[in-house]
Structure 1
Amino acid sequence: MFIDADAEAFGKVFANMDDEDQVQVFRAMVEAMKAHPTQWDHISIALEKPENSDVRDVLRNVLFP
């Protein structure tokens, strides 16, 4: 299944899911990324940019308290 949604729309849908569904979305993303492992490096580099520090800091605080 393909869902055509911009980041804002996806964020709203994700925010309205329960925690189990949110984890399953993360699981699906991790599974899909197995074919593209270098992309994790690109994401990590992008998150280190000053303009993305807000996202990086929230992810660090929430996922790695």
Structure 2
Amino acid sequence: MVEAGVLPEVAERCLNHTEENKVKRIYQRYSYALEMKRAWQVLGERLELLTLPGGDNVISVNFKRQS
């Protein structure tokens, strides 16, 4: 997400990481809901681009069980 332009703090919230700084954790209560929604959209668009049929971004791997 950060590579795609999402702020690190928003990416951390998307991953449900807790704030390490105790003062920030107690007093800064902004939910980042809109920013997280946009971050998930950005990630979804990136994943969609990477998995487009016929694209050269995906390598298929066939795993065969060995007897």
Same fold (TM over 0.5): no
Higher Cα Rg, which structure: 2
Q: Does 1 or 2 have the higher relative contact order (CA < 8 Å, sep 6+)?
A: 2
TM-score by length of 2: 0.28
